[in-house]
Structure 1
Amino acid sequence: MLYSLNTTMPKRPNLLFVMCLLIMITAVEKFAVSESLTADCSLHFEPSASDNTACEGGDWGGFLQKNCCGSSFQIYLYALGLRTNQTGRLFLNSSEQSSCLTSLKTFEADVFSCGIEKLTSGAGDCSDYSVGDVIHHLGEELKSFGEHCNFPGSGEQWNQTCSSCVRSWRAIGEAYSTASDGLSLQNEADICRFAVMLSLTSSRIEDENYVQNVYKCLAEQESYSERINSRFSLCSAENRVSRNNRKKKLDAGFWILIGGILATIIVTALFILFKRFYKSKPPSTRPALFKDVQLKDPGCPKFPIKEVYSATQNLNELNLIGEGTAGKVYKGVLSSNRHVAIKHIINDGNVETFVREVASLSHVRHPNLVALLGYCLTVDEGFLIYELCPNGNLSKWIFRKDKTLSWIQRLEIAIDSARGLWFLHTYSEGCIVHRDIKPTNILLGPNFEAKLSDFGLSKVIDLGESQVSSEVRGTFGYVDPEYQSNCQVNSSGDVYSFGIVLLQILSGKKVINMNLKRPMPLNKVAKVLTRGGNIIEFADPKLNGMYSAEAFDVTLQLALSCTALKHQRPSMEQVVLTLEKALHISTTAKESTPETSTEHFYTPERQVLKTEI
């Protein structure tokens, strides 16, 4: 969390009231049984049938932050597997996760320091997968994992199977070794591993012996050979037996009643305390960056700070979906139940960005532009509230090994993006130049419709003018070389940037090829590779040859013309028309081709093979 929610207390707080409150909270934690704590938890926890004691459950190769959490973690995983078997869903959302971990304190008092909360949905990628998604995106890994984790009874063969199972488990994370974002690669890989493991064990959840074998192997993967001679911890075992004996002596109904009464008292007391002392946000030591900001005629509503903090659960890190130079971006849910993305701006260098987006671009609306729904402004921070695009940005779909876009999807995304730029360049009140077109600024909606985002560097050219002078701004590799030399902002700069993005959509390559002895820009790489008329080397291998060669060539030539000299570049209207032509060629070829034939829908490689035959 970026910062916690503080309260301002009176100078003379009621000490007796606070002491009573602490006593009641302690009483509930000590005596209330799990039934009084699991109202919002869909998992049913039962003591594990395995022989692991509290501190002998393993740390799952370092995933758990405490070794003593292993036993309770296996209880958690088994309950989660039962839920997955019934619903097909893998991980809990943040609120339900918190409730279930509270319930799990029955088995491990310090469960919140174990690291289990990392397996929470909402962080994107594998954290939001269902079993169906795992089968679709990680099917090969799931199949391999199941084959290598087919445990026999016991003995040396069991050890060999466990070693093979661990190797398969670790291999699941290899797809993330080249990820370029700022998220933790290890955590991302671990979440995908657990998604695969849950998908497998949930399908065999009735075979508890098999499931426990998988847990035991993976939990002890780092330390199994060192623990052969210390299977049981007598002290922990005696403590567990003693605890179970005490539980049997308690009258469960009586303590549920007592826990309910105390909980009601505590909730009432906290509500009163909340009403008396709560303020919308903590006192800030940040400079008053936005103190002198005046917004004239904004085209979107202003939201109260309480709404922003409530929507993001007080800027909870679990809701973080992105981070850039302007600040962090969180997903959230407004009181109207609308899902949004909220950018938090606290850097003094981005005050101008905030003002530009609210004052100018909030009036601009188009299906292929991310809509600015509102803003929030205080003296020391600002928030921009956008529509949420659940499929993230184009960059991860191009460069991530586990993400795939079909040829048709790529053309449709390119057309949507081009339409958004065409609209900006022909806006009725003056040409709007984006100045930062790149894959991370192209977001994808629920149906993969593309929307341009991040207008913080945009410039408006007045009607009757063709360009305006400005300092060079943008992202390395996407900035028009002519703009870099003359500092003249015009729409052709966006055309150049779009051409680079279009080359990346075709090839899946980074903007600068650093693998060559002499690094080369992508447009020059494209010219070199296609000079002999062979487009195979430039096409993205993830396309698996499934594209129309004619349409690919039309799109490639368009991209190269966009990156040519300024006077040779097409307008965005011409770009849209050419891309629509390529889409028509592709869909026509695909529709007229039988499933068993490649007569019209082929790559040049396939054409050569047919000629040789």
Structure 2
Amino acid sequence: MKHFLLHLMHLVADLVFAVSDYCQTHQNTSKWTIVDFAVGKELRRNNGGGLVKGRDNGSVFTCSTIISKIKSIWNTLEWKPSPTACVLNLTSFPFEPTGRCIGTQNKVQIWDSFKTSLCCQNALTVLSKALAQHARDGEGNIFLDDAHWKNCSGPFLRQSVSVQSCRLSDLVQGSSRCSGLSLSIIRQEQTYQDALKKCSQFNSSFDDSCQTCTAAITTARDNLLDLFKAKGKDSEKKLCGVATVTSIAAELMDDHSSVEDFYSCLYALDVLDPGYIRMKYSLVKAILAILIATIGIMLVVMLIKYATKNKPDPKHVQTKEIATWSGLYRFSRAEIDNAIGPEREFLGRGSAGHVYKGTLPSGQHVAIKQINKNTTSDSFTREVEGLSKVRHPNLVCLFGCCTEGGEQYLVYEYCSEGNLAQHLLKKDNVLPWQKRVQIVRDCALALRYLHHHIDGCIVHRDIKLTNILLTGDLQPKLSDFGLAKMLGMEESKVFTDVRGTIGYMDPEYMSNAKLTCASDIYSFGIVALQLLSGQKVIELDLDARDQLTRKAKDVSIGKRPLTDFIDSRLNGVNYVDFESILQVAVLCVAGSSNGRPTIDVVFEEMEKAWKNTIADMKGRREMSSSATSQSRLAEVMPV
């Protein structure tokens, strides 16, 4: 029977194409006569355009009418009839084949209720529409009884999809509590009425209307499950879901457009199987971007590990390197531990580690810096290489180093008076004017030595109050060469990573990473302004630095009196020398390196101020000595 129907459908299709071709060739001028016979119908053409008589007079039709009749025969063959006719009108809702039935059958929970495959979506939609029409035009039962449902279970001819293959066999009365629902019963539920109202109003904004509709359908279905106390049962959820959709479609059946919009909207309720994920294109792009970025980061990390794996351990300085650092003693770890002792007296924190007080076997005090393990080895190497090449009274002296047991230590001369910040910024300790001039002059002298080194300009990069140490007689010594950088003889600048202390750093260097000798000049200028004013430059506070330099510039051009900048705690200030130092310091902190003086000019002015200070001190001592002599003479003279 099945093969016979397939053969018959092919014949009808050939007939449609033949008639269509003929009509196009003869401009629809020919007329056809259908003559009834006992065993069927015969089509005969009257080439002259007249009627053709047979045993039985027929009716005259045009080509378009004949094609329409043949197509109606085709539609009746779309559903395979069972021996007993199906009570559903499947002709009005023809099944549309889909490519989803080809290849892998992806699972889906249709309408968030019915677990089947994507291939069966169209079949369920067709059957739901037919059940809706049958319920509206019949007794109102949403589902058929088992006998009638079996009559409608044959496969669709254009695609091997059937009730059995789609697991729709239990959509019958008596299979569950929801299977006995009728339109009269379901209409009594308010949630159903709400869903019907919201699913009947698809306006210009389809997305918003569909979202509202699907939410109402879910609510109505869940209400039926609560009514039958069937929450959590998949079989009840399936039947109640189909019943809700079908009953709403029954009410919309008179409006073809509303029915099509309604069933198109139902795709939003589909829940795909976990193995088959439906995502928006934008989400897919985002996931791909994250995946690519993650892979990129992993590759970079692997590359870094591979590169560093083949490098020597940065924490251990090779014997060959240490041998080139002439004049340095190589301490053992035991000597370092004995020098520091169990008390571990903490002196301060440098750019790369903590500094402790130590005592050598000779009784000499030293400062020992323990390099942090998370610090890169270039800081240790810079400081050792830098200080091993320089010797100057105003530079802290490096005695030796230790690289044993995975630890790194530097051993310096000990400066008993701490750093300049401890003396200048304390309220209860006033650094005399003469000492301030001496310190600023000696720092300029040390800086001139570094900038004119035989191998090239050594840029300290971290000149600040805490890196200027003081000996017992308050002689300054520039320390902490962990950030120092040497410019070759042919280099006037280098581009490097920005390092230093905010507040003392050259703004030009901060903005473009261009390091020059003028970067140290800027830092020196800030230190000089602090010595004159006694003011702080708070780290990470650019406003405090700008306020200090702005005030100094205002005083230097006469906008404000000189006394506004003088440390109020000072006595015996030489105003001429004060103003001279101030003018040079203001030039040092110019925004552009081109406007700053060289270290030679700076030292020359500081030297003049220091000579004037020495002369003032000598004059005051002579005046004091003369006054003392006269006082004693007056005491011994007779009255």
The alignment's TM-score, normalised by the length of structure 2, stands at 0.46
- Tell me which structure has the larger Cα radius of gyration: 2
